[in-house]
């Protein structure tokens, strides 16, 4: 079995927390792992949010058991979570599974450019909180005979598809980031290397590449396909 050695216990705990949240939303969740050198990227798709979540982790050394230069495999998120050993700072890669359709279509590796118009982190969090409150209020006001799945989905689409600030990023992307623990404030203590933010730069940054938008936070990223651009500029692996 392939064992990945993470940089420290903190990296292992953060990765386990991300996997735990994915499993909370979908007990049968799968994740795609890609590793090269000392960087591990974990891709997941929490249901209902319609986004791709990306969590990276630093590796202390590439691999053991004779693995080749790179790793690229889709596995069970639950099995991967169960193998995490925080005290040893390791995680064992379980057997491959047949990946869901999204696992074969990832955002492009390059060509990202920063987009303007993203509000400050506190404003983004407030916008998510307001949207959650509005959804709860509007659905609770529905008469019992109107409280159908179709009507709840309609209200949800109306609220979560609204753009954030002057960007094309939908509120649902920020909602997903918050639900996955990516939008939490950066602690005042010195963050780990995976959480460092360049001096003078907001901890939230929006990037675009072709049909994709990516919200980068110190704790992970959320990528979403821009409305109306179809399947342009995808990376099929």
Q: What is the pLDDT of residue 138?
A: 94
Task: Please check the confidence at residue 201 and state whether its pLDDT lies above 80.
Answer: no
Give the residue from 216, 192, 193, 186 showing the smallest Cα distance to 204. 216
| Residue 236 confidence class, pLDDT cut points 50, 70, 90 | very low
Q: What is the mean pLDDT of residues 16-30?
A: 95
Q: What is the pLDDT of residue 62?
A: 67
What integer is the mean pLDDT of 216-237? 68
Residue corresponding to tokens 């990202």: 112
Other residues' Cβ atoms within 10 Å of the Cβ of residue 11? 23
Nearest to 30 by CA among 117, 95, 121, 83: 95
β-pairing, 205-209 with 113-115?
antiparallel
CB 124 within 8 A of CB 132: no
- pLDDT tens column, 24-65: 999 999 999 998 878 899 999 998 888 999 999 999 876 555
Looking at residues 198-214, what average pLDDT do you find? 82
Instruction: Quote the pTM value.
Output: 0.85
pLDDT tens-digit map of 89-117: 999 999 999 989 999 889 998 899 999 99
H/E stretch holding 207 reads: strand 205-209
The mean predicted confidence, pLDDT, of the chain is 87
Q: What SS3 string covers 28-64? A: CCEEEEEEECCEEEEEECCCCCCCEEEEEEEEEECCC
The answer to whether 19 and 77 are in contact (CB under 8 A) is yes
List of domains in the chain: 3-106 (3.10.150), 113-236 (no CATH)
Distance CA 155, CA 138 (A): 8
pLDDT of amino acid 54: 97
């Amino acid at each position: 079995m392939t064992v990945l050695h993470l940089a420290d216990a903190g990296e292992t705990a953060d990765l386990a927390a991300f996997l735990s949240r994915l499993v909370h939303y979908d007990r049968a969740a799968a994740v795609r792992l890609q590793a090269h050198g000392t960087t591990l990227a974990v891709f997941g798709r929490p249901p209902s949010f319609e986004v791709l979540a990306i969590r990276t982790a630093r590796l202390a050394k590439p691999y053991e058991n004779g693995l080749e230069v790179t790793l690229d495999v889709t596995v069970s998120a639950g099995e991967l979570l169960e193998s995490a050993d925080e005290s040893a700072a390791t995680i064992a890669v379980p057997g491959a599974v047949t990946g869901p359709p999204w696992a074969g279509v990832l955002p492009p590796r390059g060509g990202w450019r920063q987009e303007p118009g993203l509000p400050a982190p506190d404003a983004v969090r407030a916008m998510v909180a307001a949207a959650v409150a509005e959804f709860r209020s509007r659905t609770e006001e529905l008469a019992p005979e109107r409280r159908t799945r179709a009507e709840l989905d309609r209200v949800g689409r109306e609220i979560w598809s609204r753009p954030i600030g002057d960007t094309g990023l939908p509120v649902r992307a920020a909602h997903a980031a918050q639900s996955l623990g990516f939008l939490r404030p950066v602690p005042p203590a010195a963050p780990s290397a995976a959480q460092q933010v360049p001096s003078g730069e907001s901890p939230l940054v929006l990037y675009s590449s072709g049909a994709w938008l990516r919200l980068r936070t110190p704790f992970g990223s959320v990528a979403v396909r821009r409305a109306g651009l179809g399947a342009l500029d995808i990376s099929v692996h």
